[in-house]
Chain A
Amino acid sequence: MGNTSSMLTQYDIEEVQEHCKHAYRNGGGFILTDEFLTVPEFAVNPLSQRLLRMLNSLNFKEFVAFLSAFSPRVPLQQKIEFIFKLYDSDNNGKVTFHDMLDVLRDLTGQFISEQQREQVLTRVLEEAGYTKDSMLVLSDFVKILGSSSDLKMEVEVPVD
Chain B
Amino acid sequence: MKTLAMDAAGKLISSSYELDLYRPNIEDYLPSGSSINEPHGELRLRDLLDISPTLTEAAGAIVDDSFTRCFKSIPPEFWNWNIYLFPLWCFGVLVRYLILFPARVLILTIGWIIFLSSFIPVHLLLKGHDTLRRKLERLLVELICCFFVASWTGVVNYHGPRPSIRPKQVYVANHTSMIDFIVLQQMTAFAVIMQKHPGWVGLLQSTILESVGCIWFNRTEAKDREIVARKLRDRVQGADNNPLLIFPEGTCVNNHYTVMFKKGAFELGCMVCPIAIKYNKIFADAFWNSRKQSFTMHLLQLMTSWAVVCDVWYLEPQTLKPGETAIEFAERLYASALII
Q: Do A and B bind each other?
A: yes
Q: Assess the B56–A155 pair: CB atoms within 8 A.
A: yes
Which residues of chain A are within 8 angstroms of B58 by Cβ–Cβ distance? 41-42, 45, 47-48, 51
Which residues of chain B are within 8 angstroms of A44 by Cβ–Cβ distance? 219-220, 222, 225
B29's nearest neighbour on chain A, judged by CB, is A123
Which residues of chain A are within 8 angstroms of B69 by Cβ–Cβ distance? 20, 23-24
Q: How far apart are B170's CB and chain A's nearest CB, in angstroms? A: 22
Q: Which of B50, B54, B68 contacts A45 (CB 8 A)?
A: B54
Docked CA distance A48–B18 (Å): 14
Q: Can you list, as one digit per residue, whether each of B34-57 has a CB less than 8 Å from chain A (1) or not (0)?
A: 000000000111101111111111
Given A47-B51, A47-B58, A128–B71 Cβ distance below 8 Å?
A: no
Which residues of chain A are within 8 angstroms of B46 by Cβ–Cβ distance? 128, 144-145, 147-148
Q: Assess the B52–A152 pair: CB atoms within 8 A.
A: yes
A55's nearest neighbour on chain B, judged by CB, is B62
B220's nearest neighbour on chain A, judged by CB, is A43
Q: Does B60 contact A (CB under 8 A)?
A: yes
Which residues of chain B are within 8 angstroms of A67 by Cβ–Cβ distance? 59, 62-63
Q: Assess the B48–A86 pair: CB atoms within 8 A.
A: no
Q: Which of B59, B61, B70, B226 contacts A110 (CB 8 A)?
A: B226
The interface-forming segment of B3-11, B134-142, B152-160, B236-244 is B3-11
Q: Assess the A36–B52 pair: CB atoms within 8 A.
A: no
Docked CA distance A154–B225 (Å): 26
A17-37 CB contacts (< 8 Å) to partner B? 19-20, 23-24, 36
Q: Does B328 contact A (CB under 8 A)?
A: no
B46's nearest neighbour on chain A, judged by CB, is A144
A48's nearest neighbour on chain B, judged by CB, is B58
A64-87 CB contacts (< 8 Å) to partner B? 67, 69-70, 79, 82-83, 86-87
Docked CA distance A160–B254 (Å): 14
Q: What number of A residues sit within 8 Å (CB to CB) of B?
A: 59
Docked CA distance A41–B250 (Å): 9
Q: Assess the A127–B45 pair: CB atoms within 8 A.
A: yes
Docked CA distance A125–B44 (Å): 8
Q: How far apart are B226's CB and chain A's nearest CB, in angstroms? A: 7
Q: Assess the B222–A46 pair: CB atoms within 8 A.
A: yes
B72's nearest neighbour on chain A, judged by CB, is A23
Docked CA distance A129–B219 (Å): 41
Q: Does A13 contact B (CB under 8 A)?
A: no
A107-160 CB contacts (< 8 Å) to partner B? 107-108, 110-112, 116, 119-121, 123-125, 127-128, 130, 141, 144-145, 147-148, 151-158, 160
Q: Which of B6, B29, B61, B65 contacts A111 (CB 8 A)?
A: B6
Q: Assess the B67–A39 pair: CB atoms within 8 A.
A: no
Docked CA distance A1–B63 (Å): 12
Which residues of chain B are within 8 angstroms of A145 by Cβ–Cβ distance? 46, 49-50
Q: Assess the A39–B3 pair: CB atoms within 8 A.
A: no
Q: Assess the A111–B56 pair: CB atoms within 8 A.
A: no
B256's nearest neighbour on chain A, judged by CB, is A1
Q: Does A7 contact B (CB under 8 A)?
A: no
Q: Which of B12, B54, B71 contacts A46 (CB 8 A)?
A: B54
Q: How far apart are B60's CB and chain A's nearest CB, in angstroms? A: 5
Q: Assess the A39–B61 pair: CB atoms within 8 A.
A: yes
Docked CA distance A107–B53 (Å): 12
Q: Assess the A70–B67 pair: CB atoms within 8 A.
A: no
B215-240 CB contacts (< 8 Å) to partner A? 219-220, 222-223, 225-226
B-binding residues in A (CB < 8 A):
1-2, 16, 19-20, 23-24, 36, 39-48, 51, 67, 69-70, 79, 82-83, 86-87, 100, 103-104, 107-108, 110-112, 116, 119-121, 123-125, 127-128, 130, 141, 144-145, 147-148, 151-158, 160
A-binding residues in B (CB < 8 A):
1, 3-6, 12, 15, 26, 29-31, 43-46, 48-71, 219-220, 222-223, 225-226, 250-251, 257
The 7 closest A-B pairs by CB, nearest first: A41-B61, A128-B45, A23-B69, A153-B52, A42-B61, A40-B219, A45-B58
Q: What are 25 A-to-B residue pairs whose CB atoms are below 8 Å?
A: A36-B62, A40-B250, A41-B58, A41-B60, A41-B61, A43-B220, A45-B54, A47-B51, A47-B58, A79-B52, A83-B49, A100-B49, A108-B4, A112-B4, A112-B12, A116-B4, A119-B29, A120-B29, A127-B45, A141-B49, A147-B46, A153-B55, A155-B56, A158-B63, A158-B71
Q: Given A20-B66, A47-B54, 17 other A-B contacts at CB below 8 A? A: A1-B68, A20-B70, A36-B65, A39-B64, A70-B56, A70-B59, A83-B52, A104-B48, A107-B51, A108-B1, A110-B223, A116-B12, A120-B48, A123-B29, A124-B48, A148-B46, A155-B63
